[in-house]
Amino acid sequence: MSDLDQASLSNVEPSLRIFFSADIVGSTAYKQKNINDPEIWFDVVLSFYREAENSFSRRWNLNKKPFESLANEDGKELFGEPPEVWKTVGDEVLFSKKVDHPIQVVTSLYSWIDTLGDLGKLLIKPGLNVKSSAWIAEFPVRNSEVILRKKIDDQPFDDAEMSHVIANFILLKEYQRNRDDYVRDFIGPSIDTGFRLGAYASVRKLAISIELAYILGVEGSIKKQANSKYSVGILDLRPLTVRYGGRVFT
């Protein structure tokens, strides 16, 4: 990477994001069963997308509401920006959320777990289910946000005289000002790891990355302290059990 590229990256504010994935279990067999009537399975997948979006929003706001009246910054610090849809991939829907404080990992994960319960209830009627994974990724050095234009027109972005890193940095600034004209994606080792986690998830097991498990462990230990800002008296969280499923080499 050139010195100019390094200088450009130094102007990008470091950030941490948590990612959530929900995938329909049994969808391939269900589609084959109804291959002559695609409207049936299309309705199921579409309702899955809608419920994932609506339920996550509903659960997030429901959990956040008791803290909105806080006069100080605690309310914002506990939840931060709401999660947003990242993209859909086949029968999988993915969400992302910027993390400004470790406790936001906990609050968003609890809302996501409640969402998975709603999705399971939705899919049980057609004989399907849902599995999920969640992971953490840091930006911009180890992983990157990639910005592309939505429309291919007669005036493409002129990046012939600059590196792709600088061009992407400029587009990222444009995206932050106007999201309507651009598409954002995430790439990097942490994103690759996150997608591989799906292979180890099941209807009974939410697969999470080691980084996410670490944050949950640290925040869980803080919560047990009587004088902690995040004690049960302020943020009432039910116990969350994290289990080690074995080491996997990829």
Q: Model's pTM, two decimal places?
A: 0.86
What is the pLDDT at residue 232?
36
The rounded percent of the chain whose pLDDT value lies above 70 is 80
Q: What are the structural domain ranges in the chain?
A: 16-142+188-223, 144-187
What is the pLDDT at residue 222?
63
Provide DSSP, 182-250: EEEEEESHHHHHHHHHGGG-BTTB-EE-HHHHHHHHHHHHHHTSTT-TTSTTTS---------------
What is the pLDDT at residue 194?
95
Strand partners, 93: 22, 88
Mean pLDDT by 10 residues, the chain (250 residues): 48 87 96 93 96 97 81 66 95 96 90 97 96 96 90 64 80 86 94 94 95 87 52 54 77
Query: Would the CA dihedral through 72, 77, 81, 84 be positive or negative?
Result: negative
Mean pLDDT of the chain: 84
Residues 48-69: tens digit of each pLDDT: 999 999 999 999 999 888 877 6
Q: Which fold has domain 16-142+188-223?
A: Alpha-Beta Plaits (3.30.70)
